Amino acid sequence: MCAQLLSTQPYKGTRDFYPDDMRLRNWFFGKIRNSLELAAFEEYNGPMLESLEMYIAKSGEEIANEQTYNFTDRGGRRLAVRPEMTPTVARLVAGKIGELNFPLKWFSIPNLYRYERPQRGRLREHWQVNVDIFGCDGFEADLEVISTAVMLLKGFDADESMFKVHINNRRFFNDVIAAIAGTDAEGSRKVSKVVDRKNKVTREAYEKDMAELGIDGDKIAKIDALYTMSVQEAAALCPESRGACELLELFSALKNAGLDKYCVFDFGIIRGLDYYTGTVFEVFDEAPENNRAMFGGGRYDNLVGLFVKNTNITGVGFGFGDVTLENFLVTHKLIPDIYNQGTKVLVTRFEDVPYEKYIALTDKLRSLGVVSSMYIGVKKFGKQIDYAVKGHYSHVAIMGASELEANTVKLKNLSTREEVTVSLDELDGYFAN
């Protein structure tokens, strides 16, 4: 034992989940898991430690080194604590590419680590729902992924006044920039970086960055105009573009599926990562005090190709973090009272009754499906009641010598204060109500 006391704080940027916190997380992830399983998504998982090479291949040495927790094991392997799930899922798909049943509808709820300064809504450890469809090139997969995002939020009784899905297309972006500014693919890519930063810099800085790429004056004005166009107006600017066709097809399908009220075309959605190739989207919180992108995703065509040669398995998906979800649910008051959700019985104890009688009663309650525990230990009756109240028990079961003799138990409802004496043989009837 060391003389110095250890800190009770968790590591910077990480959280402890005491039972009250865990109950909330289990509640919302439980709802999400149920919704996804109902829609025939299947859950997978992978290890916390992965080869650092994967993140370098995807994002470059500098980003991978700086933004992950990484180290070298005794065998000289460079490892990272996983910062995101997409490389892992691409690795899994590549690993069994010949056996898997495409299109895959997969999800996972991993914890992830990123090495950055903790700030509101951005911690070093968080949990993230990852939803992906692999092996379908058509609009159907994009539609299913977006409708799944909507379904998850609707599952919490959120409606279209609370969130909106902002949708764009990376191919369309490149083509319309080319049509307006005459850029080549690399030029459009550079413009996308500037547009992606637009809301984070002054108008002056934005125009300066654009000018450096040869875009000024009325070209900037034409790009500005895209932000207020309907998807049809925007697509008309480059009608031959595959991206424009994809956008029109997706929006038409969203309308036919009755999802248009949740969705809006937004030319400002870029998603910084270079690996997106088609549809990109972000889900915004519509609350004025919390208005911001909550999560997003899109289509990426080449990730499985990092692992297998000559493959063409496309993916489309999104990732949704627990901190953001909890903020959204709190803002819109969508969290019910998660304590008072059912019966939970504390079997109190008197010392003049053999302990095994309480064990038998508790076993009986559990066999009826009633959450229950005997009071563990020896304390005065009042202390046991305090324990039940503080522990969110709904009832206490009281069995003294006289009840025992009469083969009964007194059940006290802790919220109504009602007390009922019930025969031990009729317990099921009491709890069936």
Among 59, 64, 91, 170, the residue binding a copy of itself under the rule CB under 8 A is: 91
CB of 204 to a copy of itself, least distance (A): 34
CB of 7 to a copy of itself, least distance (A): 7
CB of 122 to a copy of itself, least distance (A): 15
CB of 238 to a copy of itself, least distance (A): 25
Our CB check for a copy of itself shows the closer of 92 and 165 to be 92
Contacts (Cβ under 8 Å, ≥6 apart) of 413: 394, 395, 419
Q: Shortest CA distance to 422 belongs to which of 413, 433, 403, 409?
A: 409
Interatomic CA distance for residues 207 and 205, integer angstroms = 5
CB count in 10 Å sphere of residue 185? 9
Interface stretch with a copy of itself, choices 139-147, 165-173, 194-202, 260-268 (CB under 8 A): 139-147
Q: Shortest CA distance to 291 belongs to which of 266, 327, 326?
A: 327
- Give residues 260-279 in contact with a copy of itself (rule: CB under 8 A): none
Interatomic CA distance for residues 112 and 276, integer angstroms = 21
**Two tokens, residue 301:** 């065509």
**Two tokens, residue 253:** 């399908």
CB of 31 to a copy of itself, least distance (A): 14
Interatomic CA distance for residues 375 and 383, integer angstroms = 10
User: Is residue 217 part of the contact set for a copy of itself (CB under 8 A)?
Assistant: no
Q: Shortest CA distance to 404 belongs to which of 342, 330, 351?
A: 351
Query: Mapping DSSP to helix (H, G, I), strand (E, B) and coil, where does residue 349 land?
Result: coil
Which letter does DSSP use for residue 119 in this model? B
Among 65, 67, 290, 302, the residue binding a copy of itself under the rule CB under 8 A is: 302
Query: Mapping DSSP to helix (H, G, I), strand (E, B) and coil, where does residue 375 land?
Result: coil
Q: Shortest CA distance to 154 belongs to which of 253, 35, 39, 40?
A: 35
User: Is residue 381 part of the contact set for a copy of itself (CB under 8 A)?
Assistant: no
Among 84, 132, 144, 285, the residue binding a copy of itself under the rule CB under 8 A is: 144
For the chain, what is the largest distance between any 2 Cα atoms, rounded to a whole number of angstroms? 94
CB of 8 to a copy of itself, least distance (A): 4
- Give residues 109-128 in contact with a copy of itself (rule: CB under 8 A): 111, 113, 115, 125
Q: What residues are paired with 13 via a beta bridge?
A: none
- Give residues 40-69 in contact with a copy of itself (rule: CB under 8 A): 40, 42-51, 53-54, 56-57, 69
- Give residues 17-36 in contact with a copy of itself (rule: CB under 8 A): 17-19, 22-23, 25-26
User: Is residue 380 part of the contact set for a copy of itself (CB under 8 A)?
Assistant: no
**Two tokens, residue 293:** 């992108």
CB of 174 to a copy of itself, least distance (A): 18
Interatomic CA distance for residues 165 and 284, integer angstroms = 6
Our CB check for a copy of itself shows the closer of 42 and 425 to be 42
- Give residues 348-377 in contact with a copy of itself (rule: CB under 8 A): 354-356, 359, 366, 369-374, 376-377
Our CB check for a copy of itself shows the closer of 97 and 264 to be 97
- Give residues 222-261 in contact with a copy of itself (rule: CB under 8 A): 253, 256-257
